[in-house]
């Protein structure tokens, strides 16, 4: 039987930082471990209790969310050197992406026009920057004035450093933006307090475009821009290993998820086979 104390959590978070885990990952692991502690209450921890929590999650959350929470807990248990490890739920591999979740190139362009119509030049350029480079929203802080002038930036994330090139038209647009808005150094996209924009800032601004752009809000979130980049790049280059490197993926299977097509796209391809006489 084991007891979890605050100093255990603090030590675990320090360990994650030393391992150079992404900020978003650390925040997610923190939420998951704290959620488990709240559920645990005054009970002592053992394998049976941990399994009971897994069963509780399975009744209240989607399988992918359950497995993400279990990964956080397994990481904590391993750090504490406790002989507790929870098996993830088995999930049948998804063959197609739901059509209502896939952002198209046309919808992306409508979002850009809506941002321009709303005179939100910053948001317009944020969308173009993410979608034309494939960077993560957390990596937007690496788009600095110095990087724009060079036409490329060095991004450090999850223990890896990769070079990201900025398209010439984007470079020109960003230089014009920095001149107009008096940006003389550092990150280009910042809040009024000078902090880099984060997921919450951009998410809410993107959602406000949906009605004017006539785009389903379920499709409109920053990471979908990265996925659109991946699909279009792969459609031209057909090199999944190169794409994985550009996106900063350690596992090419993650890249394959990005390239998952909609069922409707697959249906059209089957129709074009012409095998029914």
- Which DSSP string corresponds to 161-185? EEEEEPPHHHHHHHHHHHHHTT--S
- Residue 36: what pLDDT? 92
CATH class of 6-79: mainly alpha
User: What is the rounded CA–CA span in Å between residue 26 and residue 17?
Assistant: 8
Radius of gyration of the chain from Cα atoms? Answer: 22
Domain boundaries, the chain: 6-79, 99-267
- Residue 24: what pLDDT? 82
- Residue 104: what pLDDT? 92
- Residue 231: what pLDDT? 92
- Residue 262: what pLDDT? 65
Which ranges in 97-213 belong to alpha helices (H)? 105-117, 121-133, 145-150, 168-180, 199-207, 210-213
- Residue 174: what pLDDT? 96
Q: What is the distance, to the nearest Å, from the Cα of residue 126 to the centroid of all Cα atoms in its chain?
A: 15
At the second CATH level, the architecture of 99-267 is: Orthogonal Bundle (1.10)
Q: 72 near 29, Cβ under 8 Å?
A: yes
Q: Give percent helix, percent strand, percent coil of the chain, each to the nearest 5.
A: 60, 5, 30
- Residue 44: what pLDDT? 84
User: What is the rounded CA–CA span in Å between residue 235 and residue 231?
Assistant: 6
Q: Which residues of the chain have pLDDT under 50?
A: none
């Amino acid at each position: 039987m084991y007891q979890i104390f605050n100093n255990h959590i603090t030590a675990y978070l320090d360990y994650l930082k030393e391992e150079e885990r992404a900020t978003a990952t650390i925040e997610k692991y923190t939420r998951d471990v704290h959620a488990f502690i709240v559920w645990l209450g005054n009970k002592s921890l053992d394998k049976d209790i941990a399994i009971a929590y897994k069963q509780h999650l399975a009744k209240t959350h989607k399988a992918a969310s359950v497995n993400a929470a279990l990964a956080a807990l397994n990481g904590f248990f391993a750090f504490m050197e406790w002989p507790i490890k929870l098996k993830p739920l088995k999930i049948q591999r998804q063959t197609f992406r739901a059509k209502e979740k896939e952002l198209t190139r046309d919808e992306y362009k409508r979002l850009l026009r809506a941002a321009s119509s709303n005179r939100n030049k910053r948001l317009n350029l944020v969308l173009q920057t993410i979608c034309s480079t494939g960077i993560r929203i957390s990596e937007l802080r690496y788009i600095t004035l110095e990087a724009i002038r060079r036409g490329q930036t060095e991004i450090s994330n999850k223990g890896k450093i990769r070079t990201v090139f900025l398209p010439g038209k984007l470079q020109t647009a960003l230089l014009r933006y920095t001149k107009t808005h008096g940006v003389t150094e550092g990150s280009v996209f910042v809040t009024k307090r000078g902090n880099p924009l984060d997921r919450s800032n951009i998410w809410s601004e993107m959602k406000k475009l949906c009605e004017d752009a006539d785009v389903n809000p379920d499709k409109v979130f920053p990471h979908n821009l990265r996925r659109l980049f991946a699909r279009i790049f792969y459609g031209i280059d057909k090199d999944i290993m190169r794409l994985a490197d550009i996106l900063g993926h350690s596992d090419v299977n993650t890249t394959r998820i990005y390239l998952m097509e909609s069922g409707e796209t697959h249906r059209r391809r089957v129709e074009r086979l012409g095998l029914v006489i």
